[in-house]
């Protein structure tokens, strides 16, 4: 990660050339660099937005405080943090983004390990709703807040279809709470 404003600008310009486009609709800054002020990093992206080269600015792996600092410089359209049923460190970020109309894009959204094992609450709810554990994990995220847009990995058409079918899984409030509820 290198957050020098000139470097961020250079990388965006290179992306524009590689993509053969005049504008990037969503430029997602992957991790703020602690060696440079948030205002300077976001300021470089705001300048690109003001020039029409970037439509929206997004951030990854940020805290609520970093998001607040960034929003003082430019509007933030999205936040992409590691978040799922078993990794809930960013509950406060989900709540903050929901309250401010910012999309929350959880990466690695499907719970894994013991939390999603055959005798886990995820497996129990999945059986009750007639879904897979992965679909149930995604359904929980979709139920968690209206601004949550999971980005699960997909390795095949069948896997894609399984993930998309999570949109049809409806959890009751009791099932949602059984899985961990909200913040």
Q: Which of 159 and 99 is assigned the larger pLDDT?
A: 99
d(CA 44, CA 50) in angstroms, rounded, equals: 10
Q: Give the pLDDT score at 183.
A: 56
Helical segments of 131-172, H only: 133-144, 157-164
- pLDDT, mean of residues 85-90: 91
% of the chain beyond a pLDDT of 90: 81
Binning pLDDT at 50, 70 and 90, where does residue 113 land?
Answer: low
Helix or strand or coil: residue 73? coil
Q: Please determine, for residue 111, whether its predicted confidence score (pLDDT) is greater than 80.
A: no
Binning pLDDT at 50, 70 and 90, where does residue 42 land?
Answer: very high
Mean pLDDT of the chain: 93
Checking 15-18 for CB contacts under 8 A at 24+ apart, the result is 16/53
- pLDDT, mean of residues 76-97: 95
pTM of the model: 0.92
**Which tokens hold the place of 28?**
């997602």
Q: Give the pLDDT score at 182.
A: 59
- pLDDT, mean of residues 122-150: 94
- pLDDT, mean of residues 139-157: 93
């Amino acid at each position: 990660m290198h957050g020098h404003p000139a470097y961020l600008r250079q990388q965006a310009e290179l992306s524009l050339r590689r993509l053969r486009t005049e504008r990037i609709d969503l430029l997602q800054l992957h991790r703020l660099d602690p060696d440079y002020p948030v205002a300077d990093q976001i300021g470089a992206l705001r300048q690109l937005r003001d020039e029409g080269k970037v439509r929206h600015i997004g951030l990854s792996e940020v805290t609520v405080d970093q998001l607040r600092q960034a929003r003082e410089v430019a509007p933030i359209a999205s936040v992409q943090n590691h978040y799922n049923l078993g990794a809930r460190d960013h509950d406060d970020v989900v709540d903050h983004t929901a309250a401010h109309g910012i999309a929350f894009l959880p990466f690695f959204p499907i719970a894994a390990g013991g939390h999603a094992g055959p005798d886990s609450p995820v497996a129990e709810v999945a059986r009750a709703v007639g879904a897979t554990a992965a679909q149930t994990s995604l359904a929980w995220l979709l139920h968690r807040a209206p601004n949550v847009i999971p980005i699960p990995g997909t390795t095949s058409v069948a896997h894609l279809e399984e993930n998309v079918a999570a949109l049809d899984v409806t959890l009751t409030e009791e099932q949602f709470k059984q899985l961990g509820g909200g913040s």
